[in-house]
Structure 1
């Protein structure tokens, strides 16, 4: 099963503060473990929402909304795409992950739809 693992944003990540060298090294080592285990398919950090845009759809209309976006706790600061046998395996890997932020943080795991889901 494929899952997307979402690193939730914090006020610190939304401010654009870069992670410490120690955290970058720890995350790099964790990513290497994921790759060696055949789990990680992709993963990236995202710039703050102030650098982004949203497009709102209403019928044929489109409205472009410039960042930053409210509700930091609902934003995403980064992601991985993993291939795992089940959600339990994904949870076990996330529990091994270094804290992606310098303070309290959250990581969300969501299964992706696969072609078989639409059969």
Structure 2
């Protein structure tokens, strides 16, 4: 089963990161990533650029409205993610507990990523996606 670990931080948590040595942070995160790789559970991991560099596409009107960042409240934003392939939600939670981010204002949301097998297999679009995944080695 795949699970996404979604890392969130408040403005205060971001502010506390200013004190961290960037090289030391890369070393700490790199070691954690290496553990995930050696355990054979890492599918993907990415950090995200500052929300101020992003945009929001709001579909509540026609045509959709695009708003430059920063946007939303801090509690609505996330700054990075991992996708893990593990046996259970409990295993995903155990990995989340080991993430090398800690302290007030840091949280990680753990969400299951449904597989293509959970969708109606007789659907034309699911069949096309399955063929694409097979052709690109993603199944």
Shared topology, TM-score over 0.5? yes
Q: Which has the higher strand share?
A: 1
* Residue 2, structure 1, aligned to residue 2, structure 2: yes
Structure 1 runs of 4+ off > 4 angstroms?
Answer: 16-19
Bigger RCO (CA 8 Å, 6+ sep): 1
* Residue 105, structure 1, aligned to residue 79, structure 2: no
Aligned residues: 117
Look up the SS of the partner of 2:43 in the other structure.
strand
Q: Which has the higher helix share?
A: 2
Look up the SS of the partner of 1:61 in the other structure.
coil
1:85 CA drift (Å): 0.7
Look up the SS of the partner of 2:82 in the other structure.
strand
From the superposition, tell whether residues 18 and 117 of structure 1 become closer, same or farther in structure 2 (CA, over 3 Å): farther
Q: 1:73 aligns with which of 75, 78, 102?
A: 75
Give the unaligned 5+ runs of structure 1.
Answer: none
Mapped partners of 2:9, 2:47: distance in 1: 10
From the superposition, tell whether residues 22 and 102 of structure 1 become closer, same or farther in structure 2 (CA, over 3 Å): farther
TM-score, scaled relative to structure 2: 0.74
Give the unaligned 5+ runs of structure 2.
Answer: 121-139
